[in-house]
Amino acid sequence: MKQVTDRRMGEINIMSNTIVFFGKKIVEQVRDNAIRSCDQNLEKRMQSPIAKRWRKKKEEGNIEELQKAMIADCVDEIIFQLLNAIDQADLHISITTTNGKIVDLSEEGLGELAGWYMGSGGWRAERYSKPS
């Protein structure tokens, strides 16, 4: 068990080694990879559709639209990195279905969760996203 002090509350919480391991994996495999990927879109040499869209909005001086696009794209990148970590078996995550069955997402997803999310006609594009 690892003791962690919450500076805001002055409390000491005890985390199991499993939770510490999970936290480390989330930061390394999801957060850090997403930040690196989004940072690369700011580089002038990048030719990805996202990088081109960000540059165009910046050149047009449309800062509000640029901010909206960056937020949505960065959120998508975070979700992609999470699903990719599951696909690559860097994170072993299970879900309990509505009928109580426990399913290992790495096995059930066939290594395609990230693709089903980001791909053309995928989860975010057409099936489940409800833009504001």
Each residue's pLDDT, cut to its tens digit, for the chain (132 residues) gives: 665 555 665 555 677 888 888 899 999 999 999 999 999 999 999 999 999 999 999 999 989 999 999 999 999 999 999 999 999 999 999 999 999 999 999 999 999 999 999 988 888 876 566 665
CA distance 38 to 75: 10
pTM to 2 decimals?
A: 0.81
Give the model's pLDDT for residue 111.
93
Give the model's pLDDT for residue 116.
92
Give, rounded to a whole angstrom, the gap between the first and last alpha carbons of the chain: 42
